[in-house]
């Protein structure tokens, strides 16, 4: 772990890094759509480098509905079009395509800064929905965290 203070790295982030490196054996960017949306970078040698943490989609949508009293709560799903023609469609577009833009933008910046090729792996509850619209997510692995826990358990018996 190449983080300045390795004790600060969340266990979920380490577990995902272990599982992804075990599967791919290359440089990685792991995007986890949980309570927070995390981006974790693993070097081609398997070293955890660091990453970025953003508010998760659920937190962002709750904040929008709580602080913009006139906006209704909507189902989180991909709208038919990007340009919403209703308030519901506009909110769905902002949430879905806003997060797609966030992911693609951060992945692009991380790749440029990392200086090595990275496979982009996504996990977490909304990974499949966002990956379907993303230009940068290459693999969705819904079992990544559980696989990482299993691997670490097996290695530390």
- Separation CA 79–CA 83 (nearest Å): 9
- Separation CA 54–CA 98 (nearest Å): 13
**Sole residue written with tokens 């070293």:** 47
Quick check: 41 and 29 in contact, CB under 8 A? yes
Is the four-CA dihedral 66, 71, 72, 76 of positive or negative sign?
negative
Catalytic residue among 12, 32, 141, 147: 12
Q: Which two tokens stand for residue 133?
A: 């619209």
**Is 12 tagged catalytic?**
yes
**Residues involved in catalysis:** 12
């Amino acid at each position: 772990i190449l983080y300045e203070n390795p004790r600060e790295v969340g266990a979920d982030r380490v577990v995902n890094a272990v599982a992804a490196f075990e599967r791919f054996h290359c440089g990685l960017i792991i995007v986890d759509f949980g309570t927070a949306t995390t981006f974790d970078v693993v070097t081609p040698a398997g070293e955890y480098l660091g990453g970025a943490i953003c508010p998760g989609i659920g937190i962002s949508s709750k904040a929008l509905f709580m602080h913009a009293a006139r906006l209704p709560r909507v189902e989180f799903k991909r709208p038919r079009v990007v340009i919403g023609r209703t308030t519901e469609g506009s909110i769905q577009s902002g949430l879905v395509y806003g997060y797609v833009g966030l992911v693609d933008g951060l992945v692009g910046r991380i790749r440029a800064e990392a200086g090595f090729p990275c496979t982009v792996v996504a996990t977490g509850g909304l990974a499949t929905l966002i990956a379907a619209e993303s230009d940068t997510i290459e693999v969705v692995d819904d079992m990544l965290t559980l696989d990482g826990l299993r691997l670490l358990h097996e290695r530390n018996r």
